[in-house]
């Protein structure tokens, strides 16, 4: 990875120091400001919560006073670490963890930035006070800005990572729900496919079906695609390959519910369907599967009352 490229992935503390141009002078400046600010942190936080009180949507994240007290304590620690000047792996991990917590509680990034935006003038004022009180010191306030930017980047990185992870988990759950390979009778598996099928989903279907055939020793597999509107070349090929692979495992497969549009697509694409068994409806497929398995279905009307 190039150290100069702006990547959303996490880096080492050393890389962050280089990327945000945080020098030893900056760290010294932070410590100087910190010496002034630390005694005033509680007052700063009180003003911060007064400001937050004006926004009910922000206060909604606190269930009661004890929650506010807890978060205040954490924030006090946050600023103490901020002004400690110890920008190491622990620091990076700590800030990243804060972003993860924000994502978990669904705190919008805009609120986080609003909070930072509100606190920054207080930090700046303190910096100016230090500069005024001692003319020999050159306090620019740049160090605090650099570190605030680094903190924001880390929080956002963690936030997006967590969100990506949550989306991936949701997609996986949806994918699992969308391939319900069900053993509807001993040795007979049914998979009704509904919705949009793309290459990725086709691959998931194939894995789910072949594993289900293997674990359940299935002799018949019905792939019902009556709920699928359209398929492209790749997907049509995948569906055919699923049935072929199932056949290789000794499992008779049938595709049911091929719509006129899909039938025409398959023919126009010149896909070899000679070895594929198909039926118009799922009922036909089930009935034929039962017959092949030697299962007889009797209508209840025919049974003696």
Own/partner contacts of 75-81, CB < 8 Å, gap of 24 or more, are 75/45, 75/48, 76/41, 76/42, 76/45, 79/37, 79/38, 79/41, 79/44, 80/34, 80/38, 80/41
Stretch of 28-36, 48-56, 241-249, 289-297 lying at the interface with another protein (CB under 8 A):
241-249
Out of 244, 281, 283, 292, the only residue in the binding site for another protein (CB under 8 A) is 244
For another protein, the binding residue among 80, 133, 165, 214 (CB under 8 A) is 214
CA distances from 97 to 17, 54, 77, 78, 91 (A): 19, 27, 14, 12, 10
Binding residue (CB under 8 A) for another protein from 124, 219, 277, 288: 219
- Contact between 247 and another protein per CB under 8 A: yes
Burial of 239: CB neighbours in 10 Å, binned 0-12, 13-18, 19+: buried
**What does the angle CA 54 – CA 56 – CA 59 come to, to the nearest 5 degrees?**
100
Q: Sign of dihedral through CA atoms 234, 224, 267, 265? A: negative
Please say which residue, 115 or 187, places its beta carbon nearer to another protein: 187
Q: How many residues does the chain have?
A: 305
Beta strands in the chain, from DSSP E residues, in sequence order: 182-185, 188-194, 220-227, 252-256, 277-279
Contacts (CB under 8 A) with another protein, residues 134-193: none
200 contributes a contact to another protein by CB under 8 A: no
Token digits for 69?
């007290």
Please report whether residue 241 would count as binding another protein according to CB under 8 A. yes
Choosing from 58, 245, 269, 295, the residue that interacts with another protein (CB under 8 A) is 245
Considering the rule CB under 8 A, would residue 251 count as an interface residue with another protein? yes
Radius of gyration (C-alpha) of the chain in whole angstroms: 32
When binding is defined by CB under 8 A, the residue of 87, 139, 213, 223 that contacts another protein is 213
Q: Which is nearer to another protein, 111 or 245 (CB)?
A: 245
Cα-flanking dihedrals φ and ψ of residue 246, to 5°? -60, -40
> Is the Cβ of residue 181 or residue 228 nearer to another protein in the bound state?
181
Q: Which is nearer to another protein, 247 or 259 (CB)?
A: 247
- Residue 206 is a binding residue for another protein (CB under 8 A): yes
Distance of closest approach, residue 247 Cβ to another protein, in angstroms: 6
Is 246 a binder of another protein (CB under 8 A)?
A: yes
276 touches another protein (CB under 8 A) = no
d(CA 148, CA 145): 5
Write out the residues near another protein by the rule CB under 8 A: 206-207, 210-211, 213-214, 217-219, 241, 244-251, 275
């Amino acid at each position: 990875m190039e150290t100069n490229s702006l990547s959303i992935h996490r880096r080492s503390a050393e890389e962050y120091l280089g990327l945000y141009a945080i020098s030893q002078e900056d760290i010294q400046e932070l410590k100087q400001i910190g010496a002034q600010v630390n005694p005033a942190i509680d007052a700063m936080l009180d003003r911060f919560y007064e400001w937050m009180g004006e926004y009910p949507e922000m206060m909604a994240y606190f269930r009661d006073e004890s929650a506010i007290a807890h978060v205040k304590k954490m924030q006090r620690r946050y600023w103490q670490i901020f002004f400690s000047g110890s920008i190491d792996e622990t620091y990076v991990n700590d800030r990243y963890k804060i972003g993860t917590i924000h994502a978990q509680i669904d705190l919008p990034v805009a609120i986080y930035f609003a909070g930072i935006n509100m606190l920054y003038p207080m930090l700046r004022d303190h910096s100016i006070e230090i500069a005024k009180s001692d003319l020999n010191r050159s306090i620019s306030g740049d160090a605090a800005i650099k570190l605030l930017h680094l903190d924001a980047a880390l929080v956002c990185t963690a936030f997006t990572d967590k969100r990506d992870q949550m989306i991936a988990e949701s997609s996986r759950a949806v994918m699992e729900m969308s391939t319900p390979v069900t053993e509807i009778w001993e040795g007979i598996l049914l998979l009704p496919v509904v919705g949009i099928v793309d290459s990725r989903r086709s691959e998931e279907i194939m894995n789910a079906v072949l594993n289900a055939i293997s674990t359940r020793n299935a002799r018949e597999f019905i792939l019902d695609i009556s709920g699928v509107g359209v398929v492209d070349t790749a997907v049509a090929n995948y569906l055919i390959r699923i049935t072929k692979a199932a056949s290789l495992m000794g499992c008779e497969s049938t595709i049911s519910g091929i719509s006129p549009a899909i039938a025409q697509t398959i023919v126009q694409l010149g896909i070899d369907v000679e070895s594929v068994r198909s039926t118009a409806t799922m009922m036909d497929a089930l009935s034929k599967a039962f017959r092949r398995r030697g299962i007889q279905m009797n209508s209840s009307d025919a049974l003696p009352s």
